Structure 1
Amino acid sequence: MSRSIAILRLLGEARPGLGVKAIADRLGLVPSTCLHILRVLVEENLVQIEPATKRYSLAAGMISLARSVLDGGSFASRVQPGLDRLATAHGVTAMGVEVTSHHSVIVLALSKSNQPFRLHTDVGSQFSSLVSATGRLVAAQGDYTDAKLKKIFSAIQWDDAPTFARWKDEVKLAREQQWALDRDHFVRGLSVVALPCFGSAGQLTHTIVAVGLSSLMDSGTVGKLVHDMRLEVKALSGGQ
């Protein structure tokens, strides 16, 4: 099972697909074993093969699996109305983000604003766990050594990276105030606000994120946005 998941993750990152040998080499698998797993995944419509190139890629069956996560009582379905309210009231792009156990975060739900900017993200987009405002919350709640934090931090692709010392100060502030702000660092011209959502065991599981033009987000505007985001987080907690 773990090898199947590893193959699906790899193919999710590889475009326009990979051949058996390339997959086996990257994952350290025996090619015959890799081929067997791929054939099973093809039968389940989770993976498809291009006959001309013999390259494997994700298939439409993955969409059904994703839809089952997004439908019903999932975080994505519960957070969507709140994201729509935030986007409409504040002119921001609002997102519901999952914090995974693989040092990454995934956008599960999205509500776009009518403001004249385009944020290059969509449902399913995946980023480093320490990126932007959500990253400050993850670092604030996690049990990281300075060496580990610095290693992950240095690998992030910023438009205008803060110094590690400044970023650590912002992580400390995020821990104290229970919300975080990234202004112009991850993407120049954009400010990102994130609030944490905790699971039943008190662990950080998700964040609610709002993105807007920095020129329109002064301290007063950010304060009002954070207030409304807190209300949405509280409503989510009550719905669990």
Structure 2
Amino acid sequence: MVVIRKAAQNDEKKTAGPRVRPVPAVTRSIAILRLLGNSAAPLGVKAIADELQLVPSTCLHILRVLVDEELVKIDASTKRYSVGAGMLSLARSALKSGGFSDLVQPYLDDLASRYGVTAMGVEPSGLKHMVVKALSVSELPVSLHVELGSRFPALISATGRCVAAFGDYTPAELKSGFESLRWQNPPTFEAWMKEVDTTRTHGYGIDRGNYIAGVTVVGTPVLDSKQRMVFGLAAVGLMSQLSATQVSALANDLSKASTELASTVVSVR
């Protein structure tokens, strides 16, 4: 918590922290990276310079440095720029470091090993999307590929049922979000809402082949003190490899893990 206190002018001068001086090259580099990250297509030097009101020669100099550091890549044929693989590496490092990711990893490793599933720790962002922040993959010959940092629609699959069940959203908001989802075997909104109610009652959600045909997903919420979902756990496996008994046991173990995490994870946010 940040506390702002009023003080006498003389005291402010004595206790003020170090002044952060702007570094134009750094500020411009960050602006370029954000612009390229938000752009649907690669951009040329002139387009970038015009958008950010930079001198083209300065823009080109910064781009060359970013390319050299692999944070930006250039298409040699079009001379257009886009974000490079180095950005993904940095993002993954940020996702791995500290907080929820560290706390949840032992649980995911245990679940993946015992049930032969891909286990994930996710963080929802409202009704927009959820991000995979921690991951553990089983050693079985067949497993589902998910990448750390992947983003999914917030209401999709089993974790989506948890978002709907443990969030302060109106039926109209949920319907609007639901209608934008893409399922291989889509449920009706009415049937989905009944499953959301069941998720609220049982404390876990199950997707049996709706999101991806032949795949079962079990999800549980990690709740804050107001019983709102702040993180989630998910286990993904092939329907042919998970019996009804195993799914029930998996849901129970996921719920236990979520309950244990809830007592500590909110304090690290």
Q: Same fold (TM over 0.5)?
A: yes
Shift of 1:163: 1.1
> Are residues 1:7 and 2:28 paired?
no
Shift of 1:196: 0.4
What secondary structure, in the 3-state scheme, does the structure 1 residue paired with 2:120 have?
strand
> Residue in 2 aligned with 1:27?
none
Aligned CA RMSD, in angstroms, stands at 3.2
Cα distance in 2 for residues equivalent to 1:177 and 1:5: 44
What secondary structure, in the 3-state scheme, does the structure 1 residue paired with 2:161 have?
helix
What secondary structure, in the 3-state scheme, does the structure 2 residue paired with 1:64 have?
helix
> Are residues 1:135 and 2:157 paired?
no
> Residue in 2 aligned with 1:187?
212
What secondary structure, in the 3-state scheme, does the structure 2 residue paired with 1:156 have?
coil
Cα distance per residue 1:51-108 (max 9 Å; x no partner): 542322223145234313312x221222111111001111111111111246101111
Q: How does 1:110-149 map to 2 (within 5 A)?
A: 110-149=135-174
Shift of 1:48: 3.9
Cα distance in 1 for residues equivalent to 2:128 and 2:59: 26
> Residue in 1 aligned with 2:90?
64
Aligned letter for 2:90? S
Which deviates more, 169-178 or 53-62? 53-62
Q: 1:103 to 1:55 in 2, by over 3 A?
A: same
Aligned letter for 1:110? L
Match of residue 232, structure 1, among 254, 257, 262 = 257
Aligned letter for 1:129? A
What percent of counterpart residues are identical? 36
Match of residue 91, structure 1, among 104, 116, 132 = 116
Q: 1:235 to 1:142 in 2, by over 3 A?
A: closer
> Residue in 2 aligned with 1:197?
222
Q: Is the 8 A contact 2:49 2:59 kept in 1?
A: no
Match of residue 32, structure 1, among 39, 42, 50 = 50
What TM-score does the superposition give when structure 2 sets the normalisation length? 0.72
Aligned letter for 2:221? P
> Residue in 1 aligned with 2:16?
none
Cα distance in 2 for residues equivalent to 1:50 and 1:113: 37
> Are residues 1:160 and 2:160 paired?
no
> Are residues 1:171 and 2:196 paired?
yes
Q: 1:38 to 1:174 in 2, by over 3 A?
A: farther
Match of residue 18, structure 1, among 31, 42, 65 = 42
Shift of 1:146: 3.0
What secondary structure, in the 3-state scheme, does the structure 2 residue paired with 1:205 have?
strand
Cα distance per residue 1:92-149 (max 9 Å; x no partner): 1111111124610111121112345442421111111111001111111223333332
Aligned letter for 1:210? A
Cα distance in 1 for residues equivalent to 2:192 and 2:64: 45
Cα distance in 1 for residues equivalent to 2:50 and 2:122: 37
Q: 1:49 to 1:202 in 2, by over 3 A?
A: farther
> Residue in 2 aligned with 1:104?
129
What TM-score does the superposition give when structure 1 sets the normalisation length? 0.80
Cα distance in 2 for residues equivalent to 1:61 and 1:19: 17
Please say which structure displays the higher CA radius of gyration: 2
What is the total number of aligned residue pairs between the two structures?
Answer: 229
What secondary structure, in the 3-state scheme, does the structure 2 residue paired with 1:191 have?
strand
What residue ranges of structure 1 are gaps of 5+ in the alignment? 25-29
Cα distance in 2 for residues equivalent to 1:203 and 1:146: 17
